[in-house]
Structure 1
Amino acid sequence: MTRLKLWAMAATGCVSLLAMGAAAQAQSLEESLALAYNSNPTLQAERARLRATDEGRIQARAGYLPQVSASASISAQQSESVSGAGSPLAGSSESDSTPKNYSLTASQSIYRGGYNGGAVDQATALIYAGRESLRSVEQTVLVDAITAFMDVRRDSEVVNIRRSNADVLAQHLQAARDRFEVGEITRTDVAQAEARLSGAQAQLSSAQSQLATSRAAYERMTGQPPATLQDPPALPELPDNLADAAETAYRFSPQLLAAQYGEQAASHSIRMARSSLRPQVTLSASASGSRDASYAGDERDSTSIVGQVSVPLFTGGLNRSRVRAAIAQEDQTRQQTLLARRQVTEGVTNTWNAYITSQAVIESSRQAVRANEIALDGVEQEAYVGLRTTLDVLDAEQELLASRLLLVTAERDSYVAGYRLLQAMGLLSADRMGLNVEIYDVAGEPEGSGFPNFDLTPWN
C-alpha cells in the first residue's frame, strides 16, 4: 500500500470521526433554551434584583415591631493630687477607679398615622411588580435564545445554498470555456459566467461572515458555542385570530401586570405621605446603671417608661407638598399603565401580522422554488440545443437562488414570529415549554399580603 493511500485512508477516518462527534454533540432547541435559562447573566441579574425587592417587605414590617438596643462601657481612671506645704493636709494622694455603665432601651411605635400599613402594602405591590418584571425578562431571554438558534440554522442554510450556487456557476464557467474553445459561444458569454461566479463567491464570503456573527450571538445567549443544531420542534398552539391573542395578552402580559402593580404601589405611597399629617404615638422604656469600682463603690441605677405623642403643627408646607407629589406620582403611574396597555396592543398586532405574513411568504416561496427549478431545467435543455444563451441560464440560476434564500428566511421568520407572539401574549415561559430545568422559585405569595395571585393558566 502506497504512502498516498495511507494518507487518504487517515484523512477519511478523521472526517468520519468528526462527523460522528458533530452528530453526538447535536443540540436541540430545548437544550439551547435550558442553557440560556440556567446561565444567562441578564436573567440571573433580574433574579437577584427580585430577591433584593423581596427584602423590602421585611423591612417595612419592621415598623410594627419594637426596637431594642443595649450599650455598655468600662473605663480605667487614675488621679493624683498634691497639697501645698502650708496646708494642714500637706502631702499627696492617688486614687484608681474603673467605672462601669450600661443601658437598655426599647421603643414601640403605637400609631404612625397609617405609615406602617402603607409601607407594607407598597412593598408587597413592588414584589408582585418585580415578579412580573422577572417574567418579562425571562420571556425576552428565551425568545432571544430562540432567535439566535434559528439565525444560526438559517445562516448555515444560506452558506450551503450559496456554496452550492458557487459550485454550479463554476461548472457553468468551465462549460462556457469549453464551448468557447470549439466556437459555439462568444467571449462575452464566458465573461458573463466569470462575473456571476465572482459575485457568487463574494456573496458566499458575506454569508460566512454573517454565520460567524450569528454563532457569536448564540454563544452570548447560552454561554456555549453552537454545535450541530437539530431541527426545531413544531410551534406551540397559537390563537386563531388577533382578537383572541389580544384578549389573552391583556390578562397575562407581564408588562401590563407590572404597570398595574406599580400603580398600586404609588397609591400606597399617598397613604405614607398623609401619615405625616397625623399624630405619632410612641412608647419607650429604658434602664441604665453605673458602678464606680473605686474604694467608695458608688452605685446608681435608673429606669423609665415614657409615652410620647407628637402632633405636626407647622412644617412650612413640607408635609402637604409631599402628599401632592405622591398624588401626582400616582397619576403618572396610571398613565404608564394606559401606555403599557397600548404597547401590549401594538406588540400583539405587530407580531400577529408578522406571523401571518411569514406564513404567506413561505407558501409563495415554495411555489417559486418549484417553478424556478422547472424553469431552470427547461432553460438548460434549450441552451443545450442552442435556443437559449449562457446569460439565460445564469439568470435562471439566479432566480432559483433568490427563491431558495427567500424560503429559508421566511421559515426562520415564521418560527421566530410564532414565539414572539407567545411572548407578546405573556405565555412564553420555561415551565410552559416543558424545559428540563429547575424552575426558579419566586417564593410564593407573601403571607397576609391581601394581593391577588393571578391565574397564569396557558391559553388554550
Structure 2
Amino acid sequence: MKYWITAALAAGLMAGGAQVHAQSLEETLSAAYRSNPQLQAERARLRQSAEGVVQARSVQLPQLSASGTLSESETWGASPVGGNAGSSSVGASLSQPIYRGGRTRGSINAAQARFEAGRERLRAVEQGVLLDAVSAHANVTRDQQIVGIRSNNVEVLAEQLRAARDRFEVGEITRTDVAQAEARLSGARAQLSAAQAALAASRAAYARVTGIDPVEPDSVSPADAVPDALDGALGTALDNNPDLRAVEFNEIAARENIRVARGAMLPEVSLSASVNEGRDSAFSGQARGSAQVQARVSVPIFTGGLNQSRVREAQASADEARLSGLTARRQVVESVTNAWNTYLAAQAVIESSREAVRANEIAFEGVEQEAFVGLRTTLDVLNAEQELLNSRLELVRAERDLAVASYSLLQTLGMLSARDLQLAVAADEDIGADSRTRWPNFSLIPWN
C-alpha cells in the first residue's frame, strides 16, 4: 500500500505542476477558429459567393460608357492633295434593361440563395473544425493522464520487483514469483513507451488543428447545452443544422434557375441613349454632333429547342435539389440519433468505470494485505494491480469520450459555433455583409 501512496503523491506533484501553465479549452478553440487553414479557405469561398450577388444585381442597373478617339494623318507623293489631316471624336452611351422575362430577378434570388448556402457551409466547416479542436484537446489531456498512470505503474512494479527479490533472498517466495514480477515490469515499460508515442501523435494533431503547441491542456468537461431529450434534440437539428440548411438554400437557387431559363423564352426590352461629337481637325475645326435614343425589343422565335431544353434541365436540377434535401433531412435525423445514443452510452460507461475503480482499489488493498501474511501469491498481487490499472485507464478514456460525445452532439444540432460557445473572437457573420447592403434589395423594374 505504501508504494501506491508514493505513486499517488508523485501523480499529485505532476498535476500541481501542470496547473501552472494550464491551457483552457476556450484558448484551444479560439486558436483553431483564428488560424485553421480549412476554415480560412471556406471564408474565402464565401467571399466569392458574396461577389456573385453583387454581379447579379449589377444587371438591373444602368450601364454607362464613354469613348474617345484622336487621329492624325499625313500624305505625300503623287497625290493631288497633300499635307496633314486629323480628326477627333468623343461619345457616351447609356443602356437600361426594361424587361428580361424575369431573368434578372431570378438570377439575383439564385445568387442570394447560393450565398446563404455558402454561409451555412461555412458554419458547418466552422463547427467541424471546433469539434476537431475539442477532440485534439481532449486527446492530449487523456494521453497525458495515461502516460502519468503508466509511469506510476512502472515505478510501482519496479518497487514490487525489488521487494520480491528481497523476499526471494530470505526464502519467502520462489524464483518463479520473481520472474513474474520481472515480466510485468518489462510489459509495463513497453506500454509506457506506446503511451508516450500516442501522446506525441496527439500533440502533433493538436498543432495541426490549432496552429499552436499544446501546453498542459486542462481536462475537458462535458458540454452544458446538451438537450434533455432526444425529441428536443431532433427539433433543434432540423431547424438549425447547417448542412440541412445549406441544402434547403440550394433548392431555392435551383427553383430560381427555372425562372431564369423560362425568361429566355420571353421578349426582352431595353432602352439605350448615345451622344457623339466629332471634329474634322483634331484641335480646331467645326464640331459635328449627334444624339440618339433607341428602344429595342427582341423576341426569340426559334432556337432549335435550346431554350426548352434549358428549362427541362433546370426543372430536373430542382428535382435533384429537392430530393437531396430529403436525403439530408434523413441523414440529420440519423446523425442526431446516433450522437444522442453515443452520449448516453458514454454516461453509462463513466458510472461503471468509476465503480470499477472503487471496487478494484478495495480488492487490491485486500490482496496486498493477504499476500503480506502469506495467503496470496505474488501473481495474485500483480493481477490485482493490473485490474486496478485497467480500470483507471478505462475511466480516463471514458471521461474523454463523454466530453467529446457531448460536443459532437452539439455539432449535429448546429450549436457548436463560436457564437454559441461565446468565444472571444470576431465571428464570421460579417463576411459578405457588404454584398447585402452595397445595393438595396430592390429592382429598378420589379418584373425585370
Q: Which amino acid aligns with 1:55?
A: E
| Partner residue, 1:58 | 54
- In structure 2, distance between residues paired with 1:354 and 1:275: 51
Deviations for 1:62-102, whole angstroms, at most 9, x for unmatched residues? 1111111112122331110227xxxxx8xxx6411232232
| Partner residue, 1:132 | 120
Q: Which amino acid aligns with 2:78?
A: V
Q: Which amino acid aligns with 1:150?
A: A
Q: Which amino acid aligns with 1:267?
A: R
Q: Look up the SS of the partner of 1:239 in the other structure.
A: coil
2:53/2:435 contact within 8 Å kept: no
State the Cα distance separating 1:280 from its structure 2 match. Answer: 0.9
1:179/1:185 contact within 8 Å kept: yes
Check 1:316–1:139 CA distance in 2 against 1; reply closer, same or farther (3 A cut): same
- In structure 1, distance between residues paired with 2:87 and 2:18: 80
- In structure 1, distance between residues paired with 2:20 and 2:160: 38
| Partner residue, 1:321 | 309
Check 1:101–1:24 CA distance in 2 against 1; reply closer, same or farther (3 A cut): farther
- In structure 1, distance between residues paired with 2:380 and 2:205: 40
State the Cα distance separating 1:185 from its structure 2 match. Answer: 2.3
| Partner residue, 2:10 | none
2:72/2:282 contact within 8 Å kept: no
| Partner residue, 1:6 | none
| Partner residue, 2:419 | 431
| Partner residue, 1:11 | none
Q: Which amino acid aligns with 2:26?
A: E
- In structure 2, distance between residues paired with 1:290 and 1:360: 89
Q: Which amino acid aligns with 2:28?
A: S
Match of 2:155 among 152, 157, 167: 167
- In structure 1, distance between residues paired with 2:333 and 2:148: 39
Q: Which amino acid aligns with 1:161?
A: I
| Partner residue, 1:407 | 395
| Partner residue, 2:76 | 80
Is residue 371 of structure 2 the alignment partner of residue 383 of structure 1?
yes
- In structure 2, distance between residues paired with 1:352 and 1:232: 19
State the Cα distance separating 1:365 from its structure 2 match. Answer: 0.5
2:98/2:271 contact within 8 Å kept: yes
State the Cα distance separating 1:182 from its structure 2 match. Answer: 2.3
Match of 2:65 among 66, 69, 84: 69
Check 1:105–1:367 CA distance in 2 against 1; reply closer, same or farther (3 A cut): same
Is residue 326 of structure 2 the alignment partner of residue 338 of structure 1?
yes
Q: TM-score, normalised by structure 1?
A: 0.87
- In structure 1, distance between residues paired with 2:195 and 2:283: 95
- In structure 1, distance between residues paired with 2:330 and 2:172: 67
Deviations for 1:41-68, whole angstroms, at most 9, x for unmatched residues? 2222222221221122211111111111
1:71/1:103 contact within 8 Å kept: yes
1:104/1:287 contact within 8 Å kept: yes
State the Cα distance separating 1:179 from its structure 2 match. Answer: 2.0
Match of 1:155 among 143, 154, 158: 143
- In structure 2, distance between residues paired with 1:140 and 1:339: 20
Deviations for 1:106-164, whole angstroms, at most 9, x for unmatched residues? 21111111000101111111122122112111211211111111111100000001111
1:252/1:425 contact within 8 Å kept: yes
1:36/1:223 contact within 8 Å kept: yes
Check 1:24–1:75 CA distance in 2 against 1; reply closer, same or farther (3 A cut): farther
| Partner residue, 1:458 | none
State the Cα distance separating 1:38 from its structure 2 match. Answer: 1.9
Residues 385-394 or 271-280, more deviating: 385-394
| Partner residue, 1:43 | 39
The number of residue pairs the alignment matches comes to 425
Q: Look up the SS of the partner of 1:330 in the other structure.
A: helix
Residues 358-367 or 371-380, more deviating: 371-380
- In structure 2, distance between residues paired with 1:105 and 1:402: 83
| Partner residue, 1:357 | 345
| Partner residue, 1:195 | 183
1:122/1:264 contact within 8 Å kept: yes
Is residue 267 of structure 2 the alignment partner of residue 279 of structure 1?
yes
Residues 302-311 or 315-324, more deviating: 302-311
Check 1:167–1:96 CA distance in 2 against 1; reply closer, same or farther (3 A cut): same
Match of 1:230 among 187, 206, 218: 218
- In structure 2, distance between residues paired with 1:369 and 1:357: 18
2:106/2:259 contact within 8 Å kept: yes
Check 1:207–1:296 CA distance in 2 against 1; reply closer, same or farther (3 A cut): closer
Runs (5+) with no aligned partner, structure 1: 1-17, 84-88, 451-460
Check 1:299–1:191 CA distance in 2 against 1; reply closer, same or farther (3 A cut): same
Is residue 95 of structure 2 the alignment partner of residue 107 of structure 1?
yes
Task: Trace 1:260-279 onto structure 2 (pairs within 5 A).
Answer: 260-279=248-267
- In structure 2, distance between residues paired with 1:19 and 1:347: 37
Q: Look up the SS of the partner of 1:411 in the other structure.
A: helix
Residues 312-321 or 184-193, more deviating: 184-193
2:138/2:219 contact within 8 Å kept: no
Is residue 150 of structure 2 the alignment partner of residue 182 of structure 1?
no
- In structure 1, distance between residues paired with 2:229 and 2:410: 13
1:73/1:102 contact within 8 Å kept: yes
1:121/1:449 contact within 8 Å kept: no
Identity across the alignment (%): 55
Residues 193-202 or 42-51, more deviating: 42-51
| Partner residue, 1:32 | 28
Check 1:22–1:171 CA distance in 2 against 1; reply closer, same or farther (3 A cut): closer
- In structure 2, distance between residues paired with 1:297 and 1:247: 79
State the Cα distance separating 1:289 from its structure 2 match. Answer: 3.0
Deviations for 1:254-288, whole angstroms, at most 9, x for unmatched residues? 11111111100100000000011111112122222
Match of 2:296 among 284, 308, 312: 308
Check 1:449–1:257 CA distance in 2 against 1; reply closer, same or farther (3 A cut): farther
Match of 1:241 among 211, 226, 229: 229
Is residue 366 of structure 2 the alignment partner of residue 370 of structure 1?
no
| Partner residue, 2:243 | 255
